[in-house]
Amino acid sequence: MLYCPDCMHLSDPDTDICSNCGSRRLRAPKDNDPVYLLTESTEFVHTLQWLMEQDKIPYMDKNAELTTKPYVMNVRRLDIFVPYSFYGQSLQLAKDLFAAEQSENKGFVSEENSGEE
Ligand SMILES: [Zn+2]
């Protein structure tokens, strides 16, 4: 992994250009570099932060733009960053949380409900 100090994203080591912002100043990440983890709804991020606090993972977040999807209310989203040394652990927590939320929501998803046009 290579680290972009301009936008704090990680990139594949086989490129010298940041896949997020196009910067060419990539370098090897240091343990304390804040690394972009994900952008998700405020609710998801707050749940993830709670899990991180249980595991003593430091984090920081910042407001991302409001996203508007058709037929869905405006959702405020948050970017969350973690120190590079906690990146793998945090990613695993996020994946577990995604999986938990998806199995929770299964009962509400109906694919036969699209005949309303
Ligand atoms: Zn970048």
20 & 41 share domain: no
59 & 38 share domain: yes
Identity of residue 82: V
Q: How far is the CA of 13 from the centre of ligand 1 (A)?
A: 13
Q: How far is the CA of 25 from the centre of ligand 1 (A)?
A: 8
Q: Across the strands, what pairs with 61?
A: 80
Q: How far is the CA of 27 from the centre of ligand 1 (A)?
A: 11
Chain position carrying tokens 């609710």: 43
Q: Flag whether 4 is in a domain.
A: yes
Of all residues in the chain, what percent carry a pLDDT higher than 70?
79
Q: Flag whether 19 is in a domain.
A: yes
21 & 36 share domain: no
Beta strand 34-41 pairing with 77-83? antiparallel
Q: Which domain holds residue 14?
A: 1-30
48 & 96 share domain: yes
Closest to 94 measured CA to CA, from 43, 55, 38, 12: 38
Which residues surround the ion ligand 1 when the cut-off is CB under 5 Å? 4, 6-7, 18, 20-21, 23
26 & 64 share domain: no
pLDDT tens digits for range 57-74: 999 988 766 555 555 566
pLDDT tens digits for range 75-117: 688 899 999 999 999 999 999 999 998 887 665 554 554 455 5
Q: Count structural domains, the chain.
A: 2
Q: How far is the CA of 74 from the centre of ligand 1 (A)?
A: 27
36 & 23 share domain: no
